[in-house]
Structure 1
Amino acid sequence: MDYYAIVHNDFDGTASAAVYARAVNDLPKKVFFTEPTKIHNFLSKLELRGVNNIMIADIGINASTFDSILQSLKRLISQGAKIQWFDHHVWKEEWKKTLSDIGVEVYHDTSTCGAGVIVKYLNPNDEFSKKLTSADCSVDIWLHDDPMGEKLRRVVESNRDYSWKEYLIKKFYQGILWDEEFEKILVDQIDKELKGYEKLPKYIRVLNINGKNVVVAVRWKGPPDISYASQFLMNRYNAVVFASINGKAISFRSNLIEVRKYAEKLGGGGHPLAAGAGLKAPFWRFLLHKLGYRKPLLDWVSNIVINVINEIGYVPYQRKDIRI
């Protein structure tokens, strides 16, 4: 079956493409990696070119771009496309109904990760897919209950090139969960991470907002990545929220607070404990950051974080049972 796979450019997106391929017993004609903040632009430019089957996975919808997404999907369906959308981020019920009404097959479940939605509905008896999904969910939705997740995430994120993720999709499709190649990458990544932790204080500011510590950061190059760095910094500074900006978007992380509410306020979305939104920094502040002067960008993002937390408050996260 010829099909396009459109997935998030992270571990969960990579795993989603792999478990879908195992479910349909075929690799995609082409994998496209994108983000929730860019999916509307991507779909507006997508051409079928003789491929009528499309799977979209681990891509949430933002309220600000839903109408644009809807119009693009209508166009593709009118051209003969069959579209399946698998996701685990928070959706409005009206979004699911509207997409279903135009012919999109919507598979939505917030109790698992993106790959977990696919396995649950398409291939629940595939033991390899369940193992890969367990590792994926462990880190993607911040369960941290499967050691393989911490290992595989480092392997997936060791190389930002899309060709690397395509290579991994093929390996997972073949049933390879771990091998000597992955082991070597893991050792190398951990070594880089340990060195990278030393530089993090240069990129952060610790705020006290309504009696609780919040770490705000401007993005750095290289390991550790945002997930591991956020855990380290929140523990080090006894913080309940971590926020970082890369010049184009803001990301929130927490172990206790529903940070998705902050992201939604800024026009984004995500998971309860890991979320983000598009947020373009003023050019001159971003330029100074690139030149090594971080204070102007930290000042700007700190004010945004202070305002959104003051408006929303700290909403404790109530963990739900997770089904894989």
Structure 2
Amino acid sequence: MQIMKVMIFSHESDLDGLYSAAIGLLRYPQAMTIFLGYGVENFQKLGNFIYSATHYSPERGLIIISDLGLNDDLIETCRQIFSDAVRNGWKIMWIDHHHWSQQAIDAVKPLVEVVLDTSGTKCASDLMYETFLPGSELAARLAGMAHTMDFFTKDQYLTPISELIRYYQTFPNFYDRLSELARKSAKGILWDVEMQSDYNDYARLRDEARIQVFATIQVRPVGRFKVAYVQSSPYLQNSLFSEEVFAKTNADLIMFYSTKGKVSIRRSNDAISCRDVAANLHEGGGHAYAAGATFKSDPSDVSAVISELEAAVAKAVASQL
């Protein structure tokens, strides 16, 4: 009997993306895992993978997309990708917990089985567990840990695997390393000697980066909010590091900007939505409590970058009035 071909696409940057893929592997051990970020370029990669799998092989199979939101500017790209795949006999499931517009939902529903959380209380791993492996103890535990990290509930101990994901992003074989982490997690291996060795190397680089990054912080008022602008480091996991920045600056909002033109947004209270700020930037999306986008300014021109980010915050603040 031929084993069904399965492809799992998941978010590359955090524990929820990793454990979503791991739960998918628990259900479909034969699956290929592909990890992606957000934005047009990443969805073009998704399209290339799907095209290769569905056009150059007579096999039919299943495509699972998890922990990746669909922004309106990607609707046509996705509709074209999925139309070709479905025409070639493939089934597509999209499991996600980000905010989708009704336009996005209506556009892909004829082609894709969409599982969305609209309550704002579940992470993608929760949905993967409920959809594919309800009752599995290992899947439930993976989902629970992803939930703890995603919502910062601090209700259980987590290994520092989120920082390891961040560290592995600096390696040329990042995607291979992430796929290996997903396969280990699917076997219940959450930490081992190799991971500990890598983490020891990472911790030294992280501590050096922390000193350098604290020197870049600029804090400015935007309306009634205090906003910290911080140049991010490849060795600092933004969600974890944000706690230190909030403690040091007493800011309401942090804008982490990178030398690659990306911005990560975090908040310390619910008086402002990170997603509303991200919506005023290119390729912006995410959640009320954490979001991301790209900026158009030259990353080397810090003054221009901060001005662009400040304008996005100001627009979100003005919309509250």
Superposition TM-score, scaled by structure 2 size: 0.84
**Structure-2 separation of matches of 1:211 and 1:111:** 28
**Structure-2 separation of matches of 1:114 and 1:314:** 32
Query: Which consecutive residues of structure 1, in runs of 5 or more, have no partner in the other structure?
Result: 290-296, 317-324
**Structure-2 separation of matches of 1:142 and 1:111:** 12
How do residues 88-127 of structure 1 correspond to structure 2 at under 5 angstroms?
A: 88-102=97-111, 104-109=112-117, 110-127=120-137
Query: 125-134 vs 39-48, which deviates more?
Result: 39-48
Task: Give the C-alpha shift of residue 78 in structure 1.
Answer: 1.4
Q: Structure 2 counterpart of 1:108, which letter?
A: L
Task: Give the C-alpha shift of residue 314 in structure 1.
Answer: 8.4
In 2 relative to 1, CA 205–86 (structure 1 residues): closer, same or farther, beyond 3 Å? same
Q: Which of 286, 289, 308 in structure 2 is aligned with 1:270?
A: 286
Task: Give the C-alpha shift of residue 208 in structure 1.
Answer: 1.6
**Structure-1 separation of matches of 2:105 and 2:124:** 16
Q: Deviations over 1:155-175 (max 9, x none)?
A: 333312111111111111212
Q: Which of 64, 68, 73 in structure 2 is aligned with 1:64?
A: 73
Query: 81-90 vs 183-192, which deviates more?
Result: 183-192
Contact 1:258/1:314 (8 A) holds in 2: no
Q: Compute the RMSD of aligned alpha carbons.
A: 2.3
**Structure-1 separation of matches of 2:194 and 2:247:** 32
In 2 relative to 1, CA 44–22 (structure 1 residues): closer, same or farther, beyond 3 Å? closer
Identical counterparts, % of pairs: 22
- Match of 1:54? 63
**Structure-2 separation of matches of 1:40 and 1:158:** 23
Query: Which consecutive residues of structure 2, in runs of 5 or more, have no partner in the other structure?
Result: none
How do residues 1-324 of structure 1 correspond to structure 2 at under 5 angstroms?
A: 1-10=4-13, 11-24=15-28, 26-28=29-31, 30-38=32-40, 39-46=42-49, 47=51, 48=53, 49-50=56-57, 52-102=61-111, 104-109=112-117, 110-148=120-158, 151-160=160-169, 161-220=174-233, 222-246=234-258, 247-256=260-269, 257-266=272-281, 267-282=283-298, 286=299, 289=300, 297-313=301-317
In 2 relative to 1, CA 164–71 (structure 1 residues): closer, same or farther, beyond 3 Å? same
In 2 relative to 1, CA 135–186 (structure 1 residues): closer, same or farther, beyond 3 Å? farther
Contact 2:246/2:268 (8 A) holds in 1: no
Query: 136-145 vs 71-80, which deviates more?
Result: 136-145
Q: Structure 1 counterpart of 2:145, which letter?
A: A
Task: Give the C-alpha shift of residue 202 in structure 1.
Answer: 3.0
Contact 1:27/1:170 (8 A) holds in 2: no
Q: Structure 2 counterpart of 1:254, which letter?
A: R
**Structure-1 separation of matches of 2:37 and 2:195:** 26
**Structure-2 separation of matches of 1:143 and 1:63:** 31
Query: 182-191 vs 34-43, which deviates more?
Result: 182-191
Contact 1:261/1:312 (8 A) holds in 2: yes
Contact 2:219/2:226 (8 A) holds in 1: yes
Task: Give the C-alpha shift of residue 313 in structure 1.
Answer: 1.2
Contact 2:65/2:93 (8 A) holds in 1: yes
Superposition TM-score, scaled by structure 1 size: 0.84
Task: Give the C-alpha shift of residue 127 in structure 1.
Answer: 1.1
User: How many pairs align?
Assistant: 299
In 2 relative to 1, CA 156–314 (structure 1 residues): closer, same or farther, beyond 3 Å? farther
Task: Give the C-alpha shift of residue 212 in structure 1.
Answer: 2.8
Q: Deviations over 1:34-63 (max 9, x none)?
A: 122134312442322335321111111112
What secondary structure, in the 3-state scheme, does the structure 1 residue paired with 2:279 have? helix
Contact 1:90/1:270 (8 A) holds in 2: yes
Q: Structure 2 counterpart of 1:16, which letter?
A: S
Contact 1:56/1:86 (8 A) holds in 2: yes
Contact 1:134/1:146 (8 A) holds in 2: no
What secondary structure, in the 3-state scheme, does the structure 2 residue paired with 1:194 have? helix
